[in-house]
Amino acid sequence: MRRTALLSMIAFLMFCQGVSAWNDKLTHPDLTNVAIEESGIDDYLNNYLNLSQGLDTELVNESVKEWLKKGSFCEDAPVCRASNHFHNPHKDWTESCRRMKT
């Protein structure tokens, strides 16, 4: 039994490829893109801010959507900034953005 488990583990490790669940250049902008699509912000921009093109409105040669994605990418740099930008839903809003204790 032990031998089978050991051989299975070795075979598994031999055929595994490198996997990166976190890619700071792709993950945050992709998450932002999904959040943008699901949020209804386009309607808000159209109806409350009178930006007739909504997310496609250009501001300084970039669409609002692209600015949001760029901003989410910039949240991860430098590392010292990124270590403190997570929201802790168990705390009051005045303290929720401080580094979460583990």
Residue 56 has what DSSP assignment?
G
Neighbours of 56 (CB within 10 A): 13
pLDDT tens sequence across 20-49? 556 667 777 788 888 888 888 999 999 999
- For residue 15, the one-letter residue type is F
pLDDT at 24: 65
Nearest to 31 by CA among 20, 19, 23: 23
| Residue 101 pLDDT level (bands cut at 50, 70, 90) | very low
Which residue(s) pair with 59 in the sheet? 62
Residue 59 has pLDDT above 80, yes or no: yes
Which pTM does this prediction carry?
0.55
| Residue 56 pLDDT level (bands cut at 50, 70, 90) | very high
